[in-house]
Amino acid sequence: MIRSSVVTFVSAGMLSPKKRDHVLARQQLYLNYGALSLATKLQLAGRDVALFHGEHRDPEDLFCQIRDSGRFPSIYPLMISIPSFYALPWAQAFCKLAKAADPECRLVVGGRWVVGPDPEWLRGLLPQADVLAPGLSEGVIERLLTESPVLKRVAEPAPGFTLNHLLVDGYRRYQPSVEASRGCGMGCAFCEERDIKVEKLGDAATLAASMALVGEQYNGEEIRPYLQASMFLPTARWASAFAVEMARIGLNMAWRTETRVDAITTQTLVSLAEAGLGVIDLGLETASPRQILAMRKADNPDRYLRRASELLETCRDHGVMAKVNVLLYAGETEETLAETTAWLDAHASAIAGVSVGPVIAYGPPKTADLLLDDWRRLGARPVDTTSAASTGITTMHLSTAFPAEAAEVASLQLSRRFMDEDAYFELKSFSYYPRDYRRADFERDVAASDAAKLPFTVRRRDAARVDHDQNFDEANLK
Ligand code: SF4
């Protein structure tokens, strides 16, 4: 058997989309920047490296592509990254294919959220894996190619190099990522980052230089990088230095990031807007004081909501699109949801869109059980008590008022209250749709999707109108 000397990373895809399955949901791309960080590190050490994303493709289809390109089989292990529990069934299918084609192939499987909580549990679901890497693996990635070091869950700082997007198969379809910092540690009860200490942001000039380098990787074409940080926590001084540096190097680039609603001051936001911040994902989660406390989101709900108001208004006044994340939580009632809805109504002019969903316990029993006990005390119960063990995903009946089905209906209603198709397209195309995905593509996919599952209001257009628009677009591009 002829073996290549390429290190191939595969980011596991999904057999069906995370939330609701429809044509539109299958268009979203998620760059696995954790796997890209490892791939970049190996490439900087002189290895020949490639990263493939499973997306919503058939595992066999991607496996054949890698094999036919001559990269598989290789003298090196196949590096499989599982970015979420939703990607686990895809990874299982892919690992089986790889082992069947080359029983000698070593499979190194990583993905800190999925492998980290309980590697033994995962071994039972993924017996083909030769090595399970439970943590961030930059420090051991070289050794993973040749041996099986003893691996622990470790916190590693954001790497000091720029991600090399050229290593990603079809990289021009993906919006790039720039990693700003890791960790959070703010203690929100439902979140996997609750106990992982936040890392101090690096030097503003270095981050700006990294964004410029990513721009060069895309030959100066328009890109909208996502500044990755679970908890983007710049000070006013840092943000001002970042704006100055972006202007000094003449980088006119719109970018996106996420943070808490009470993490940054209005002055900081103003500087970030000057530095190109175009969209900010804000984890409001709820505007019900009772639910804020139940989530352990903040211990002073009034102050939390006051800061959220100020931040949203500053976003609106400085041209930053604010996408607000809302979480229907354990113990949710008609009254708590009405509080959140009323608060959002009062801030509607400052909200570009909302993303709403019921809380879900991620992880095997070892980690999910703690959450489930907490949520039971708040009046919730799992839809299926065996699903943590079989899938790592436990959906919830939130309360008597909001069993799982009613929570899904309420989530869709709340999303649609604040988002129409224009807002949705604008937010999704900023970061998640392929860079060449146009409005006409979107209209076609909306028309082909089940309207009952779409999280935005649709002015349904008939097929003839869509065809007309598409022909019109094509004619204008010629
Ligand atoms: S602030 Fe966000 S990232 Fe941090 S623990 Fe809370 S939900 Fe998680």
User: How far away, in angstroms, is 413 Cα from ligand 1 center?
Assistant: 25
The per-residue pLDDT for range 210-248, each reduced to its tens digit, is 999 999 999 999 999 999 987 888 999 999 999 999 999
Residue 466 has pLDDT above 60, yes or no: no
Considering only CA atoms, which of 417, 415, 418, 443 is closest in space to residue 429? 443
Q: Over 90: is that where the pLDDT of 163 sits?
A: yes
Pair 259, 233: CB distance under 8 Å: yes
Tokens describing residue 201? 């942001």
The domain limits of the chain are 1-174
Q: What angle do CA 186, 84, 100 make, to 5 degrees?
A: 155
CA-to-CA distance for 437 and 187, rounded, in angstroms? Answer: 38
The full DSSP string for 344-359 is HHHTGGG-SEEEEEE-
177: left (phi over 0), alpha (psi -120 to 50) or beta: beta
* Dihedral, CA of residue 219, residue 270, residue 267 and residue 194, to nearest 10: -60
| Whether residue 153 has pLDDT greater than 80 | no
Residue 198 alpha carbon, nearest atom of ligand 1: 4
pLDDT of residue 21 exceeding 90: no
Q: Mean pLDDT across the stretch 246-251?
A: 97
> What residue has token string 């392929």?
434
Q: pTM to 2 decimals?
A: 0.90
Pick from 196, 403, 374, 362: nearest CA to 294: 374
**Best of 113, 182, 191, 284 for a ligand 1 pocket test (most atoms within 8 Å of beta carbon):** 191
Mean pLDDT of 32-53: 95
| Distance of CA 6 from the midpoint of ligand 1 (Å) | 37
Mean pLDDT score of the chain: 91
Ligand 1 atom 3 nearest Cα: 230
Residues 284/261, Cβ–Cβ less than 8 Å: yes
Residue-wise pLDDT tens digits, 44-59: 999 999 999 999 999 9
Decide whether any atom of ligand 1 lies within 6 Å of the 8 Cβ. no
Point out the least confidently predicted range of 10-24, 164-178, 315-329, 344-358.
10-24
Q: What is the residue with the minimal CA distance to atom 5 of ligand 1?
A: 194
Tell me the pLDDT tens digit for each residue of 283-306. 999 999 999 999 999 999 999 999
> Any idea what DSSP says for residue 24?
G
Over range 118-133, report the average pLDDT.
Answer: 93
DSSP label at 128?
A: T
Structure tokens, 31: 């760059």
CA 37 to centroid of ligand 1, rounded, Å: 22
Say yes or no: CB of residue 95 within 6 Å of ligand 1.
no
pLDDT for residue 469 is more than 50: no
What architecture does CATH give domain 1-174? 3-Layer(aba) Sandwich (3.40)
Q: In the 8-state DSSP scheme, what is residue 197? A: B
What spacing in Å lies between the alpha carbon of 297 and ligand 1's midpoint? 8
- Check residue 255 and give its pLDDT: 98
Answer yes or no: is pLDDT of 477 > 70: no
What is the average per-residue pLDDT within 412-419? 97
Q: How many alpha carbons fall within 13 Å on the CB side of residue 316?
A: 14
Q: So what's the pLDDT on residue 201? A: 85
470 pLDDT more than 90: no
Is there an atom of ligand 1 within 6 Å of 283 CB? yes
pLDDT at 9: 97
Dist CA 316 CA 311 (whole Å): 9
